[in-house]
Amino acid sequence: MIKRPMDTGLKTKMSPSLGLLTIANMFQDKHTIIYENENIKDIDFNEKVDIVGISITVDVFFRAVEIAKKYREKNIPVVAGGIHITANPDESEEYFDALSIGLAELTWYDIISDFEKGQLKKRYYHNTSNITPNSIISPAYNLINKSEYLYYNIISTSRGCPYKCNFCYNSTDAYKNLYISRSVQDVIKDIKAINNRHIMFIDDNLIGNPVWTFELLEAITPLNLKWNAAVSSNVVNIPNMLDKMKSAGCQSLFIGFESINTSSIEDAEKVQNNVERYNYIVSEIHKRGIMINASFVFGLDGDNKDTFKNTLKWIVDNKIETVTSHILTPYPGTELFKKLKSSGRIIDDDYAKYNTANVVFMPKNMSPDELKQGYLKIYKDIYSFKNIIKRMPKSKNQWIPYLLFNIFYRKFGKFTDFICSLIGYKNIGRLAALMSYKTK
């Protein structure tokens, strides 16, 4: 993983790859699986293996090519999969023996079967026409070395998103028509396998299918969990949803507000966001004692230099507990990428910079440097001591998780990273969860 200026080692050791653990679970009863993560330790290229699978996001594409080269020099076939390969397969073919385009659940069995027959094909596309909730496979949680990660208590309850914002991987060909929620019983099995009362649902949108969400909330309420999830901002339009979430143990919600400019929201084709209702959304969520992690993206066509100070003011005025900011990044294969490419606005094709901390396209109403500096400054300003104090939640119960995240993760991440290296990431993660949510 390529770190951004504000990232510390904590970011790289945050959680294991559910994509790789999913393919691991598909064959762990038949074959020996070795799960490697070079953010944690160097890859052992001398290990005797028959076939290698790599999970690839855009920022690590070139590193994945280097890794593949080393195995292929030893005649070990390499299969590439994951979001970037799925979104943008055409540029990748020459570097790998096979490409998995889409969900491993719908490609990996064929890949291994063809490999065993010596007939590995170049491309495997997922065919989602017959997909059912039970098609989705649980990750092999048993393979996680918990001491290496800050968190391992992550669950993906779905694939895809019902919305298709133009900057998101969900607007790419392979995901355009895909949104599926898993069976609630399978999700409960994952919760049991994780065996922790604090759970993070890492789906794109936990309320993509509200009927299903109510079913899930009903099923987890008796488990007495504390949990976090990402939802779209129209969560407040669904009667009872927030009440039900609260009573099922919801602690905080990640919401893609993206911009406080209506024209930027239109530019992103984010139809579910209504800027006029942002204050109301925040007050309804806060009223129920749920914290907000607001996500913003800067550089949309409606943004200019003033966007940064206006957004900062909105964040502080609304006492948003935590904020994740990004520079708009046209991931290859997305509708945004196609639009910027066709109008000659892509100015950097080094994918290692496509990690939302670099300007790789020509913004409309700012220079690339103004966008970059504005983004760096707003991050600093949001997490200045003055603004951390101003944003303090009203409820005392939330002070510990709030301060832990704002100060020990965002502000003094390097120090926290150092402490973690002394006493173990898992221990710090557990301690933080214990202090924040009184879980084990």
Q: Which is nearer to ligand SF4, 204 or 321 (CB)?
A: 204
Q: How far is the CB of 20 from ligand SF4 (least distance, A)?
A: 21
Binders of ligand SF4 among residues 169 to 188 (CB under 6 A) are 170
**204 touches ligand B12 by CB under 6 A:** yes
Give 372-425 as a DSSP string.
Answer: HHHHHHHHHHHTSHHHHHHT--SSGGGHHHHHIIIIIIIISHHHHHHHHHHH-H
What is the C-alpha to C-alpha distance for residues 429 and 432, in angstroms, rounded to an integer? 5
Q: Which is nearer to ligand B12, 54 or 260 (CB)?
A: 54
Only one of the segments 13-21, 67-75, 258-266, 415-423 lies at the binding site for ligand B12 (rule: CB under 6 A); that segment is 13-21
- Can you read off the two tokens belonging to residue 276? 């006029």
Number of Cβ within 10 Å of residue 382's Cβ equals 23
Site string for ligand B12, 132-171 (x = CB under 6 A): ------------------------x--x--------xx--
What is the C-alpha to C-alpha distance for residues 40 and 127, in angstroms, rounded to an integer? 34
**191 touches ligand B12 by CB under 6 A:** no
What is the C-alpha to C-alpha distance for residues 141 and 160, in angstroms, rounded to an integer? 21
- Enumerate the H helices of 333-367 as residue ranges: 335-342
**89 touches ligand B12 by CB under 6 A:** no
**229 touches ligand B12 by CB under 6 A:** no
What is the C-alpha to C-alpha distance for residues 241 and 246, in angstroms, rounded to an integer? 9
State the Cα angle at 371 between 368 and 387, rounded to 5°.
160
Only one of the segments 77-85, 208-216, 295-303, 371-379 lies at the binding site for ligand B12 (rule: CB under 6 A); that segment is 77-85
CA atoms within 13 A on the CB side of 401: 26
Q: Which is nearer to ligand B12, 12 or 427 (CB)?
A: 12
Q: Which is nearer to ligand B12, 103 or 144 (CB)?
A: 103
Give 274-321 as a DSSP string.
Answer: -GGGHHHHHHHHHHTT-EEEEEEEE--TT--THHHHHHHHHHHHTT-S
**204 touches ligand SF4 by CB under 6 A:** yes
Only one of the segments 60-68, 158-166, 190-198, 381-389 lies at the binding site for ligand SF4 (rule: CB under 6 A); that segment is 158-166
Residue 256 binds which one of ligand B12, ligand SF4, none, with CB within 5 to 8 A depending on kind? ligand SF4
Which of 68, 168, 191, 360 forms a contact with ligand SF4 (CB under 6 A)?
168
What is the C-alpha to C-alpha distance for residues 318 and 326, in angstroms, rounded to an integer? 20
**328 touches ligand SF4 by CB under 6 A:** no
**242 touches ligand SF4 by CB under 6 A:** no
**159 touches ligand SF4 by CB under 6 A:** no
Residue 101 binds which one of ligand SF4, ligand B12, none, with CB within 5 to 8 A depending on kind? none
- Enumerate the H helices of 168-249 as residue ranges: 184-194, 210-220, 241-247
- In the chain, DSSP finds a helix count (H) and a strand count (E) of 17, 12
Sheet holding 52-55, edge to edge: 52-55, 78-81, 98-101, 123-125
Residues making contact with ligand SF4 (CB under 6 A): 161, 163-165, 168, 170, 204-205, 232, 256
Residues making contact with ligand B12 (CB under 6 A): 1, 4, 11, 14-20, 22-23, 53-55, 57-60, 79, 81-84, 86-87, 100, 103-105, 107-108, 156, 159, 168-169, 202, 204, 331, 355-356
